[in-house]
């Protein structure tokens, strides 16, 4: 039976389950990764009857979704078992070439690069005939979501659309179902009109008008909301018809602590303690992602060891990189550069009993949580970041009142303010100085900062974050509805 009459529909590219094959070739159901998925999963635990519409991202998911009644995962027993929460999941089996062009070519290699200012402008972007074909795929991908969402949403229901994969969706839904209330949330940063308008003019328009089809458009911080409004004013010649609001997602301390004290994390922490002994730890956990700026983080750590040589032998930099978007050559190249630089630092400065950089490029959630628990300093220096939830998780989990060294271009900087040490992500020397200051900070100052950091990191946990958005969306007077 296809789903119908859903009062609340959440829509995102990545869903709460990934399905791949284990070593024996059997289907393996795992929790989807990333900030959006974990935040939304917690939020939906208090929305019984909701439906989450997402894309099948790989072949195995496509074939399971095609075989499921109405693409509903609850009709596939092992998937239903793996889902946590009282909501159903509809997975769209969009054809592989369309999906790849929309996800890799447009969402990740174009829109993500624009929003995080990652282009190497003498070479990229190039908007040519090939790119236009990818753009047509992105339009088809958004249309496929619109078709499903408009079929399953109840009269006067609410639809909450997430992120840059689906920028065109709010306007597409509105056109067909003006009775619906539509919220759109952007988990990424936004950029000012000068940078955004690198995109072709018709594409800028379609994207901004697409998002503005929502009743309420949400951002993590005021800075990104202002950039979006400036783009609308400059490139559409008018303010967005949507109400633009700020809802800054934070972390759920109770849930996180419960997970981070399970047996698998305790065991990972014991291993970590054997590896680092009583040395101080500068820790970081990221997706292996260009915008996270791990390379400059490593350069700063090397400069710290050279300019403040008293730290040699006394501190270890633990870098946890979860593999991500490996279909894109830029990501594969960047990860290789990170590996090479870590090896160079270890060859250049390490000794027989001290390895300065411990780098892991793998998915190992328990070991990542153990790293956060063991960190004395947390380094989060993204080039740009919508919020950065990992810094909040580190602040909650650190058992050593970790000092937070944070990029001023992460949304989290606006939230943490002067309780963190803020750095320009391009300024490696300033970051090295901040690491020195953090490592040298007196205990009472660390403790005082931790009080403020913890309060900020937990202020709007996922359930409250989502409830606040729903309230505003449901109260909104739809312009055309
Ligand atoms: O920052 C936006 C975001 O959706 C994050 O919430 C998430 O970690 C990341 O992008 C996921 O990217 P992908 O689904 O491509 O792995």
Domain ranges of the chain: 6-249+464-475, 255-459
| Residue nearest to ligand 1 atom 12, measured at CA | 34
Return the SS3 of 113. helix
Residue with tokens 């002067």: 418
Task: Determine if ligand 1 sits within 6 Å of the CB of residue 55.
Answer: no
Give distance in angstroms: CA of 381 to centre of ligand 1.
Answer: 17
Phi, psi at 264, each rounded to 5° = -65, -30
Task: Determine if ligand 1 sits within 6 Å of the CB of residue 116.
Answer: no
List residues bridging with 51 in a β-sheet. 9, 88
Q: Please name which of 70, 66, 60 lies closest in space to residue 30, comparing C-alpha atoms.
A: 60
Q: Residue ranges of the chain with pLDDT lower than 70? A: 1-2, 478-481
Predicted local confidence at residue 1, as pLDDT:
55
The pTM score is: 0.96
Whether 6-249+464-475 and 255-459 share one fold: the answer is yes
Predicted local confidence at residue 270, as pLDDT:
98
Give distance in angstroms: CA of 277 to centre of ligand 1.
Answer: 34
Task: Determine if ligand 1 sits within 6 Å of the CB of residue 188.
Answer: yes
Task: Determine if ligand 1 sits within 6 Å of the CB of residue 187.
Answer: yes
Give distance in angstroms: CA of 453 to centre of ligand 1.
Answer: 24
Return the SS3 of 477. coil
Task: Determine if ligand 1 sits within 6 Å of the CB of residue 283.
Answer: no
Best substitution site from 16, 32, 36, 110 to test ligand 1's pocket, by max atoms within 8 Å of Cβ?
A: 36
Question: Do the bridges between strand 27-31 and strand 17-21 make them parallel or antiparallel, or are there none, so unpaired?
Answer: antiparallel
Task: Determine if ligand 1 sits within 6 Å of the CB of residue 288.
Answer: no
Give distance in angstroms: CA of 35 to centre of ligand 1.
Answer: 6
Give distance in angstroms: CA of 34 to centre of ligand 1.
Answer: 5
| Residue nearest to ligand 1 atom 14, measured at CA | 14
If you classify domain 255-459 with CATH, what class do you get?
alpha beta
Task: Determine if ligand 1 sits within 6 Å of the CB of residue 296.
Answer: no
CATH of domain 6-249+464-475: 3.40.50.2000
Rounded distance between C-alpha atoms, residue 124 and residue 74, angstroms: 43
């Amino acid at each position: 039976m296809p789903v119908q009459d859903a009062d609340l529909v959440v829509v995102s590219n990545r869903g709460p389950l990934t399905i791949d094959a284990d070593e024996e070739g059997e289907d393996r159901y795992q929790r989807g990764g990333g900030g959006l998925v974990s935040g939304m999963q917690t939020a939906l635990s208090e929305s019984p009857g909701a439906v989450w519409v997402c894309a099948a991202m790989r072949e195995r998911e496509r074939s399971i979704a095609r075989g499921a009644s109405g693409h509903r995962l609850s009709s596939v027993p092992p998937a239903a078992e793996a889902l946590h929460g009282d909501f159903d999941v509809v997975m769209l089996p969009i054809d592989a070439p369309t999906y790849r062009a929309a996800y890799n070519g447009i969402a990740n290699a174009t829109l993500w690069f624009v929003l995080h200012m990652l282009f190497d402008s003498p070479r990229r972007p190039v908007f040519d005939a090939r790119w236009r074909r990818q753009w047509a795929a992105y339009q088809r991908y958004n249309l496929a979501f619109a078709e499903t969402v408009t079929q399953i949403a109840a009269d006067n229901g609410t639809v909450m659309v997430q992120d840059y994969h689906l920028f065109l969706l709010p306007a597409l839904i509105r056109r067909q179902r003006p009775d619906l209330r539509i919220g759109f949330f952007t988990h990424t940063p936004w950029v000012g009109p000068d940078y955004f308008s690198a995109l072709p003019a018709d594409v800028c328009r379609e994207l901004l008008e697409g998002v503005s089809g929502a009743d309420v458009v949400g951002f993590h911080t005021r800075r990104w909301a202002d950039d979006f409004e400036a783009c609308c004013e400059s490139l559409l010649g008018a303010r967005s018809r949507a109400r633009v609001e700020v809802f800054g997602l934070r972390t759920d301390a109770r849930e996180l602590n419960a997970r981070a004290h399970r047996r698998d994390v305790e065991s990972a922490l014991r291993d970590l303690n054997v590896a680092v002994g009583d040395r101080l730890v500068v820790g970081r956990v990221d997706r292996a992602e260009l915008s996270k700026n791990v390379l400059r983080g490593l350069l700063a750590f090397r400069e710290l060891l050279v300019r403040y040589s008293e730290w040699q032998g006394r501190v270890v930099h633990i870098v946890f990189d979860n593999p991500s978007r490996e279909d894109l050559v830029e990501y594969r190249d960047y990860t290789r550069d990170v590996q090479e630089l870590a090896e160079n630092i270890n060859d250049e400065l390490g000794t027989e009993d001290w390895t300065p950089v411990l780098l892991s490029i793998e998915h190992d959630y328990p070991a990542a949580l153990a790293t956060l628990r063991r960190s004395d300093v947390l380094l989060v220096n993204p080039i740009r970041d919508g919020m950065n939830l990992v810094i909040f998780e580190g602040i909650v989990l650190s058992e050593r009142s970790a000092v937070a060294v944070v990029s001023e271009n992460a949304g989290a900087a606006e939230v943490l303010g002067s309780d963190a040490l803020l750095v320009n992500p391009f300024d490696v020397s300033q970051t090295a100085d901040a690491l020195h200051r953090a490592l040298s900070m007196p205990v009472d100052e660390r403790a005082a900062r931790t009080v403020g950091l913890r309060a900020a990191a937990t202020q709007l946990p996922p359930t409250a974050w989502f409830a606040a958005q729903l309230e505003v969306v449901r109260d909104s007077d739809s312009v055309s509805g």
